[in-house]
Structure 1
Amino acid sequence: MEEYDQFATQYASGTEDLEQKTRSHFYSELPPLKGKIILDVGCGSGHDGAYYASQGAVVYGMDVSEQEIAMAQQRACGVFVKASMESIPYEADMFDIVTSLYAIQHTEDVPQSILEMIRVVKPGGLIAILAKHPFRNLLESYVNDGVSDYYAKRKVTSYIFNRAIKLIENGHTMMDYLAPSVLRSASLELFEERTDFPASDQVIAGLTYPTYMILKYRKII
């Protein structure tokens, strides 16, 4: 995901303009944030952190892109650090809520990343994730790379902003998000499939399919 350093400013401005409806829906799934300590994993330029702070939350954010972190720090709305979601640099049971929007699909190890989010949230705390749907990955792999194996978990070519930006992302399956190791540590409260993924290009014109999903986990006490 360090590739985002190459176009961090363009990505930040583009997603803020295009994804307002998507983000508003995600925010509606969160509890009242006033007084909550919240970690945003894959925080990007800090757009979501700024919203959380405006709602009265104490905000922490992390991202692997140095440029995105620099932009987030300029917002002066929380503590933002460069770090990998596969090894979150915070103590166990520290946060009331952990969120991640449009980020976890970039990791090579989804279950490990979710387990790290579970580790740092308090018992009974919420983990809310918005992620690219594996079915979209499959279509992109087929159309852009000529590979039609859902289980391959290979690198997938993806385009956003009318093909202005090319991404190479990790392919995942639904089982990565529903792994037994994850569900032993947290209960799944919400699984929602959505069709609007506004920053990305339509893979096959006229085909309706889930482009992203929202999952909410609750850490088992």
Structure 2
Amino acid sequence: MRVIQPALYSSVILFSVLPSGYSAPLADEQLIRQQESQRAREAQLTPPVHDVRLSSKNVISEQIDFPDEIPCFAIRQVTLQPREKLPHWLPLQKLADQATGHCLGGKGINALMSVLQNRLVNHGYVTTRILAPKQNLNSGKLTLIILPGTVRHVKFTPQSGRYVSLLNSFPAKPGARLDLRDIEQGLENLCKYPGKTDHSLLEIIRHNQSANEGDRYASHG
């Protein structure tokens, strides 16, 4: 009797533990289903994230290999005017100084201007231009003109939604430098309007009175 009795108690204890152990997977499955349902509801309520980036930065070599040309002009100094029209942190002058000490002809000057232009575009100044005015290069001084692209007007087309606000949509204001990042921010803001469909169209129209002054027309569907 003394040997059998502990075994009986063990079987009773084991019997009381097993049912709760087998019921645990069922509870876990219910919890998983609840979590999946919750995630599905959140996905339906969360608006899709629209990629409004109009362009990505391209990795372009800025080391200029100037060609040998005849005739050419020995360049001692490159001046960018007016330099204050752009942010001071743009390394345009550093890029332009690559021409110092080289004998440049038309192809070399164009190569320098292309590198400067590409840097402007990569920073979002897609309508700002680098120009080479008529000048006497016998002095060894090369002058390049920065012609800033600015915003003249920001308008919505008649087909745009009635509740779209220009004030809150586009960061750039008339007279400001046209920056691609501001346009992307404006498109992102348009995507947040209630009832918006999946298309927002933007058109930049060059103004006739200035080579680098443009109107921006946005259509919010």
Class of the TM-score when normalised by the shorter of the 2 chains: under 0.3
Q: Which has the higher strand share?
A: 1
Larger Rg: 2
TM-score of the aligned structures, taking structure 2 as reference length: 0.24
TM-score (norm. length: structure 1)? 0.24
Structure with a larger share of its residues in helix: 2
